[in-house]
Amino acid sequence: MAYQTSFLGYRRPKGPAATRNHLLVLSIVGLTAPAARRIARSLPGSRLVAAAYGRGQLGGDAITYRRQLVGLGRNSNCGAVLVIGADRKTADAVATAISETGKPVEVVTMDDVHEDALALSDAGVRHGARLMHMLSRQRREAVPVGDLVVGIECGHSDATSGLVANPLAGAVADRLVDAGASAIVGETIEWLGAEHVLARRAAPGVAQAIVDAVMRREAAAAATGMDLLGNNPGQENIRGGLSTIEEKSLGAIAKAGSRTIQSLLALAEPPTKPGLHVMDGPGFSPESLTGFAAAGAQLMMFTTGPGNSFCNALAPTLKISGHPETASRLPEQIDFDGSAVLAGIESLDQAADRLFGLLLDVASGSATWGEVLDETDEVLVRLGPSF
C-alpha cells in the first residue's frame, strides 16, 4: 500500500515542521508563575507552561529541569516563545538556547520591572500579543511526513492494550519510521523483562545501554526496599490473563513496533537522526509525555484500555483504545476506536492504516478531543530535593 507522504504543517526557520503554531508562555521559575498565568489568560489561545521550581536546584536535577524548559521552548509546535523569569541572566540563557531554532523569542523578567508583578504582566501581555499577531499570519503548507517526531505512551492498560492498542501504535510507528519520521517510546520500567528483546533490535552500541537503563531503575527501586519483580504482574494483570513480567512487558513494548532502535535518549533529549528511539524516562505518563515534547515530539499516540483523559499541552495527543466499551463510553475522549480488531472483524493492518490516516489528519490541523477540551498539561520531572 502506498502511504501518504506529506501533511499540512508549519515550516520553521530551522528543524522539522510543526503540527501546531502555539505562542508558548514559558515561566521558568515558580516566582513568576502567577504573573505568567495572568499573562496567558490575557492571550487566549496561547499555551502556558509555568514551572513550579527552577531555583535552588543542584547537579543532575538542575540540568534535567533546564533541559526540559528549553526543550519545550524549542519544540517546533511553539511558533514563538515568551520567556518569563525572575532574573535577566537566567531568562536570557533560556531564551538564547530557544532562539537557536530561529523562532522569535521575547523575554520579560522581574529584574526589568523592579519586582512589580503587575508591571511584568503588562509587559508580558504586550510582547505576547505582538508575537501572536505575527503567528496568525503564518500558513500551513505541504511538508514531509518525515518531519514528524511522535511520542508513544500508554496509560491505564488492560488486557486489550497488549492485544490491540499497543500493537496498533507499533504498526503505525513502523509506518512512520519507514516514511523517514521519528518515533519515541519511553517508560523504562515497562521494559523490565523484555529488555533483551529491545536490546536485540538495537543499533550497535545501544543494546547494552538499554539493558543498563533497566538495571539502574531496578536498583533504584531496590534501594528504597521495593522489589519490582516481587508482585509483578499484579493481581489485576493476572485476572486479565497476564502470567509473567515478560508477557506484560512484551505487551507494553508492542507499541514500539518492529524497527531498529537507533538510540537510547535521556529525558528530554532530542533524537539526532530519524527512526525509532527509546527514552530512559519515568513511567508516570504526564512526565513521560513532557519528556517527549521537550525532545521535540509534535504529536503523541497514547494507548489505553479503560480510558485516560490526560494529554500533552504542546503536542496533540491521540487516545487509542481497543476495548469494545471504552470508545462508546468515552466518546469525547477516545480519538481512535480499535475495538473492531478485538471483535475479529478488522485486521490489525487495516486498523493501523486507518490510524496512520487519522494521525496525519491531526498533524494537518484536525483537533483531538483533548485539544477541544484542553485536557492538557506539562509536568516537569525533578530528580532531587531543593537545596
- Residue 259 interacts with another protein (CB under 8 A): yes or no: no
Q: Which amino acid is present at 243?
A: S
Nearest-approach distance from CB 121 to another protein, in angstroms: 53
Looking at 98-106, 190-198, 266-274, 326-334, which segment touches another protein (CB under 8 A)? 190-198
Distances (CA, A) of 351 to 32, 247, 341, 358: 46, 23, 7, 11
Neighbour-count burial for 180-199, b at 16+ CB within 10 Å, e otherwise:
ebbbbbbbbbbbbbbbebbb
Coarse DSSP helix, strand, coil percentages of the chain, rounded to the nearest 5 percent: 45, 20, 35
Binding residue (CB under 8 A) for another protein from 80, 342, 355, 358: 342
Looking at 52-60, 248-256, 268-276, 370-378, which segment touches another protein (CB under 8 A)? 248-256
**C-alpha to C-alpha distance for 169 and 301, rounded to whole angstroms:** 7
Looking at 121-129, 204-212, 245-253, 360-368, which segment touches another protein (CB under 8 A)? 245-253
How many chain residues are in contact with another protein, going by CB under 8 A?
Answer: 25
DSSP string of 303-350?
Answer: EESS----EESSS-EEEEE--TTHHHH-TTT-SEE-HHHHTTSS-HHH
- Residues 156-185: x where in contact with another protein by CB under 8 A, - otherwise, as a string: --xxx--x---x------------------
- Residue 343 interacts with another protein (CB under 8 A): yes or no: yes
Rounded CA Rg of the chain: 21
Q: List the Cα angle 231/238/335 in 5-degree steps.
A: 110
Nearest-approach distance from CB 178 to another protein, in angstroms: 20
- Residues 197-226: x where in contact with another protein by CB under 8 A, - otherwise, as a string: x-----------------------------
**C-alpha to C-alpha distance for 320 and 339, rounded to whole angstroms:** 10
Binding residue (CB under 8 A) for another protein from 194, 207, 293, 380: 194
Q: In the complex, which residues of this chain contact another protein (CB under 8 A)?
A: 158-160, 163, 167, 192-194, 197, 229, 238, 240-241, 243-247, 250-251, 254, 342-345
